Amino acid sequence: MSDESLRKVLTCYPQQRLPFDGACGDAPYFALLELSDSESAEHAQERLETVLGTALEDGLLVDVVVAESLAQRPAQDHHRSLVSL
């Protein structure tokens, strides 16, 4: 989703908080990803972190925020749903 879309969410819903702060909050685009795995949630998280870590090292990403629990997922999903409104 674009930075412009997320900024509009903040304008309409000032109580919302962006998942990114600082310089990475000025990126032109953001990706909210969800990954599942047939083995386990831990296996999926490990694979995702490996791929994202490599992309960071290669300079393809500016920053990464990974939900640390299933409880954090609804907040990230909420941003996605507000953009589509």
Mean pLDDT, all residues of the chain: 77
* Residue pLDDT, tens place only, 26-82: 678 877 777 777 888 788 888 888 999 999 999 988 888 777 766 766 666 666 677
Instruction: With 0.95 as the threshold, say if the pTM is over it.
Output: no
Q: How many CB atoms lie within 10 A of CB 39?
A: 9
- Which helix (H) or strand (E) segment holds residue 9: the answer is helix 3-12
Task: Work out the average pLDDT over 5-12.
Answer: 81
- Which helix (H) or strand (E) segment holds residue 45: the answer is helix 41-57
Q: Domain boundaries in the chain?
A: 3-83
Q: Positive or negative CA dihedral for 64, 67, 73, 75?
A: negative
DSSP code, position 72: G
Q: How confident is the model at residue 23 (pLDDT cuts 50, 70, 90)?
A: low
DSSP code, position 67: -
